[in-house]
Structure 1
Amino acid sequence: MDDPVFVIHGVANRDQPGFAAAVADLQAASGHDMVPVYWGDLGADDRFVTAAIPTRTGAPSSARKGDGLRAGDGPPDATGPEPWLASALVADTLASDQWPRVETAVRERLADEDSDSGLRDGPHHSDVDEFLEYLAEEWPRTRWLRRTDDPVLLLETGRSLAEALIEADDLRADGIGSYDGLRAGDEDEGRLRRMLRNRLRDLDRVAGAAIQAAAGRLNCALRTEFGPATTRFLGDVLVYQRHRDAIHARVRQSIDSVDPALGRTPDRPVRVVAHSLGGVIAVDMATAADPLWTSSLVTFGSQAAFFHACDPRGGQILPYSGGRPVVLPASLARWTNLWEPLDMLAFVAAGVFRLHDGSSPVDVSVPHAASSGMWTHSSYWGMPFVASEISTAMNGG
């Protein structure tokens, strides 16, 4: 019968029963007997960390009467979520190459229409040039579009403006007016000019609403998830640096409770699964002068490589010099490192480390689950993909 897999939790875990339940679920999903290793009571005192986190003050201006999408022709305010946050998602000033990219998109869309269905008597080059010149004058009056440097948004904006010209051509083809009539109308402003101007303003409002929606969601994540969670992460990191021996002793105690011989020699290595700072703990112990012999390690959302690159961990491993990866001792035989793309606290290992046999730690990207939201550092536990990778690694794959 195989020895159990020891599971070490990461930062900000103060719920021992909850952690035990998560390990039980992971055991059922992976098919491997697992033992939870709890050290959260030795971590930072995180009861009062919110006292040090800036809070948002004042009501958003979008809540004031007259603001938002219903405020006439103007785009919505940048002050919906946070002024600085919304403005951070766009450029500060008008980029010199914005309008040429929009103009190119307009001409290409018209060329496609001419090729596919034929703008038989559609806008001539002189007409298109005149309309584009008018739009170029209107472009600096936009609030959001003039500040974007996103090529896709600029492309789609140009294509939408071209669609307005195509729609006008369809009207003319149906006998409703002419380009001359569309150009020159009431107060010397033709219907087509008003159509193009209104289309541009509509696009600007949609872009502003989308930017504010993204800023609002990011603001919520920063305030409710990223801020406190990152602060708790830093607190546990600081405590681990000061009380590493006590935390290692707790891990050793959990292993000894199963079999005191486990991990002491190459003949009785342990298998370890570790989340976040737990992965740092596992690597530190496996590479210490008196190592925890580990046959297979799976880390997820972990920072071992990042920490070693910034501050060499010591033990049997040399500092990372920026050239060749650091060779790990034989006491860490296999290592699978899982990371989720939106997890800001997850790092890859193969760029910093090599295993003793010359192979690399296996870095595996975990597919993002929409249900995870924006704070994904704690999302690994319930993912079938993670359980499958653990099962494969623990089976020697």
Structure 2
Amino acid sequence: MEDPVFVIHGVGNRDEEGFARTVAQLRTATGLGLVPVYWGDLGADDRYVDLALPLRRPAADSGLRDDAEAPAEPETAAVLESLLGTPALRDAKEPPPALEDALRTGLAEELEEEPEEEKDDGLRGGRGPDADDILAELTGLWPETRWLSRVDDPGLLRAAGTALAAAVREEASDDSWDGLRGPDDGEGRLRALLRRRLRDLDRVAGAAVEAVAGRVNHQLRRHYGPGATRFLGDVLVYQRHREAIHARVRERIGAVDPELGRGPERPVRVVAHSLGGVIAVDMATAGSPLWTSSLITFGSQPAYFHLCDPRGGQLSPYADEQSVALPRSLARWTNLWQPLDPLAFTASRVFRLADGTSPVDVPLPHAAGAGLWTHSVYWRLPEVAEAVREAFTV
């Protein structure tokens, strides 16, 4: 009877029965004798990690502020500003075309509503300044805006242009309007009007952006936070308690056959996901190795971890652009990775097997229904089942 294939899970797994069911499904898909190796109960305690996460500010804190009130925290503003608009737009020193078009359209529509006898040439003189006058003033005021100058949403910019046009038209309807000049804090009446309205619109835009960004940040933390927390937590626990986790793996293998993995005569075969791949490589290359005839990893980080912090055992640090020699105790290695999995890394450029060949890196096609977080999707991919079946039936 052929020896079984041991399956080691990765980070964030706290459901031993669920993992057993996942392995059973993979066993059915491959026709191989797969044996689950569960170590999740030794992983990070993440029951109280919410206490370390920043709280979302109440909605009232994202409302309009007077000039005397404190702005958003510098780091929050910096992050938001980095997400808004294109670099070219953030460097722009004048109102963008969407706002200009809406301003001109708003003025023209207002003009059409006036009685024929009150219309004049370009709105200058009798009823107020024309669009060119307004845009000239806005160009001088635009660098003072904090948010409007950093967004590229056409709808928001069109709304701002329409609001500015309405404000000018309302002011121009006053019979005391005298064009561009007039007493108003020492500056022209038009410029003072535009400064006030632009400041108000900028505050509204800032409040909206902060509110939306706060909700997005909160949702991202809720959606991805637990997975990221368990990944980091399990990595930290593994670094400190490596021996205990290795002992658990050996215990599970020994329960099937105490001789498996103890020497080149009875090597084991291993499938490993995520941090499970790091565990498998660490054990196969340790001073007293778990002899492994064939290893398949997916969504895993052995090469990345070794480059950042050499793993020790029989592995030398990576240096001088020379591949790290793997010992004979790890005979074959196939590494699968998803292009949208941020926790998946390749191995072929870092390691070299004892026979002089490199581990085989296999990119997997992105599953249409997998979304943007694909670290846990491998178990359901038919390409993974096919790769496992091919690796262990040759």
Q: TM-score, normalised by structure 1?
A: 0.63
SS of residue paired to 1:90: helix
2:242 equivalent among 234, 244, 249: 244
Instruction: Determine the C-alpha separation between the residues in 2 that align with 1:96 and 1:364.
Output: 33
Distance 1:279 1:296 in 2: 12
Pick aligned residue for 1:389 from 384, 387, 390: 384
1:246-281 deviation line (CA, Å, top 9, x unaligned): 322322232233344443444654332212221111
Partner amino acid for 1:38? Answer: Y
Confirm whether residue 364 of structure 1 aligns to residue 363 of structure 2: yes
Q: Distance in 2 between matches of 1:239 and 1:99?
A: 43
2:103 aligned with 1:88 = no
Secondary structure, counterpart of 1:312 in structure 2:
coil
Question: What's 2:377 paired with?
Answer: 380
1:306 maps to: 304
RMSD of aligned alpha carbons? 5.2
Distance in 2 between the 1:29 and 1:138 partners? 66
Q: Which amino acid aligns with 1:21?
A: R
Counterpart position of 1:7: 7
1:32 Cα deviation after fit: 3.8
Shift of 1:9: 1.4
One-letter identity of the residue aligned with 2:80: L
SS at match of 2:347: coil
Task: Return the offset for 1:97.
Answer: 5.7
CA pair 210-15 structure 1, distance change in 2 beyond 3 A = same
Query: 2:300 is matched by which residue type in structure 1?
Result: S
The 1:217–1:57 alpha-carbon spacing in structure 2 relative to 1, beyond 3 Å, is: closer
Question: What pairs up with 1:338-349 in 2 under 5 angstroms?
Answer: 338-339=337-338, 341=340, 343=342, 345-349=343-347
Compared CA separation, residues 299 and 52, structure 1 to 2 (3 A): farther
- Structure 1 residue ranges without an equivalent (≥5): 72-76, 111-126, 166-181
Residue pair 2:5, 2:270 contacting (<8 A) in 1 also: yes
Of 317, 320, 328 in structure 2, the residue corresponding to residue 319 of structure 1 is 317
Distance 1:316 1:237, change over 3 A: same
Does the Cα contact within 8 Å between 2:274 and 2:297 map onto a contact in 1? yes
Contact 1:49 1:232 in 2 (8 A): no
Shift of 1:308: 1.3
- Asked if 1:146 corresponds to 2:143, the answer is no
The verdict on how the C-alpha distance between 1:7 and 1:142 changes in structure 2, with shifts beyond 3 A counting, is same
Q: Which residue of 1 aligns with 2:255?
A: 257
* Shift in CA distance, 86/279, structure 1 to aligned 2, threshold 3 Å: farther
- What is the CA-CA distance between 1:51 and the residue it aligns to? 6.7
Counterpart pick for 2:140 among 137, 142, 150 = 137
What is the CA distance between 1:243 and its match in structure 2? 3.3
* Cα separation, 1, equivalents of 2:216 and 2:387: 36
Kept in 2: contact 1:78–1:212 (CA 8 A):
no
Supply the AA of the counterpart residue of 2:253: I
Cα distance change, pair 157–352 in 1 and its aligned pair in 2 (3 A): farther
SS at match of 2:81: coil
Q: Which residue of 2 aligns with 1:116?
A: none
| Amino acid of the structure 2 residue aligned with 1:334 | W
Give the match for residue 283 of structure 1: 281
Q: In the alignment, which residue of structure 2 is the partner of 1:334?
A: 333
Q: Are the counterparts in 2 of residues 271 and 394 from structure 1 also a CA contact under 8 Å?
A: no
Q: CA deviation at 1:222?
A: 2.6
Equivalent residue number for residue 21 of structure 1: 21
Q: Which residue of 2 aligns with 1:175?
A: none
- Work out the CA distance in 2 between the residues paired with 1:306 and 1:255: 27
User: Percent of aligned positions with the same letter in both sequences?
Assistant: 44
Structure-2 residue corresponding to 1:294: 292
Letter of the structure 1 residue corresponding to residue 60 of structure 2 = S
Mapped contact 1:276–1:302 kept (Cα < 8 A): yes
Contact 1:86/1:215, CA 8 A, preserved across alignment: no
Q: What residue identity is the alignment partner of 2:377? A: Y
Task: Give deviations 1:42-64, integer Å, cap 9, x for gaps.
Answer: 334x164427514416523278x
2:220 corresponds in structure 1 to 221
- Higher alpha-carbon Rg: 2
Structure 1 residues 26 and 96, CA gap change in structure 2 (3 angstroms): closer
2:133 & 2:359 partners in 1: Cα distance?
61
